[in-house]
Structures are given as C-alpha cells and as structure tokens.
Amino acid sequence: MKISIETITYLFYWTIIFVVAGSMIVYGLGKPVQFQGFEKSADSNLSEGHQLMWSFYSYSLAYPIIIGILEILGGICLLLNRTRIFGCILLTIILSNIIIQDYIYDIKALNSAIYYQVLVFVILFFEYDKVRRIVQELFKTSETKRNFLLVLVAFVISILFKYIEAKI
C-alpha cells in the first residue's frame, strides 16, 4: 500500500489537533481541583515564585474555573472546522498568559505550555489560507473618506466622558 504525502500530512494535522484539544480539555477539567488545598508548602522543590503563584490561584476558585472553561472551550473549538481558528486564537491568549506566568514565577510546566503553543502555531500554519483571509479582512482599509472634524469632536467627547467617569 502506497501512502501519499497528502495522507501523511492529513494524519499529522489531525494528530496535532487531537493532542492539543485533548490536553486543553483535560487541563481545563482539572483546574477546579489543581489549586485546592495549597497552603504554604514546605516542599523545598518549589520555588518562591511557584509558591506565590499557587497561593494566588488557590485564593479563589473562580479564577481557575474561568481559565479551565476557556481551555475546554478552546479545545472543543479546535475539533470543529468552523471554529478552529477561533480556538487557536483563544488558546494562544490563554497559553501566552500561562507562558508568561510560568516564566516569571519559575514554574516547571513552562516547557509544556510552550510545546502546546508551538502546536497551535502549526495548526494555524495548516490553516494558512483562512488565517490570511482573516488578517486581510481585519486590516483592510475602507474607501469612505473620514471627516476630520467629526473625529475631533468624538475625541473631545471621549475626554469629557473620562472626566465624568473620574468624578463618579
């Protein structure tokens, strides 16, 4: 049986999707219990930053649950063709936050977060045509002429709103 490069590419593409989606869903489901019961750990293997971050996340259950829901949503979106790009964008936002926190607070899971982010970028590479169309749509210029005076009036009104907001 001869296997074509297209078949191998397709297999590789879907393997990456299942790896990322499955991992994000599992991580999301685990978030409510991941940070429970963390008191100042006497574990000398944990850095001070690790202890600080875990204390922050375990302070309230709401924040880890919100992160978990977003991870689950991103994972599910990856599985569907219509929502795959949205899932990649959502997971990139979440993973970028995790990567920054893991780096700053010296968390050993940094490599895992980077690994999943690279896989998300690979998925986006496979979806190059869709991504290109989305970027073009986001940054296309409008043919309508802008009225400078109206923009200036809107700017002044926005400053007025900020002034009122500061007084409230």
Dump pLDDT digits (tens) for 88-97: 999 999 999 9
Higher pLDDT, 32 or 100: 100
Residue 92 burial by CB count (10 A; 0-12/13-18/19+): exposed, middle or buried?
middle
Count of Cβ atoms closer than 10 Å to residue 135 Cβ: 10
Domain boundaries, the chain: 5-141
The pLDDT tens digits for 17-59 are 999 999 999 999 999 888 776 655 556 677 788 788 888 888 8
What is the total residue count of the chain? 168
**Residue 53 confidence (pLDDT):** 82
Alpha-carbon distances of 137 from 38, 125, 130, rounded to whole Å? 46, 18, 11
* Confidence band for 65, pLDDT divided at 50, 70 and 90: very high
Query: Distance between CA 127 and CA 42 in Å, rounded?
Result: 47
Query: Distance between CA 116 and CA 20 in Å, rounded?
Result: 6
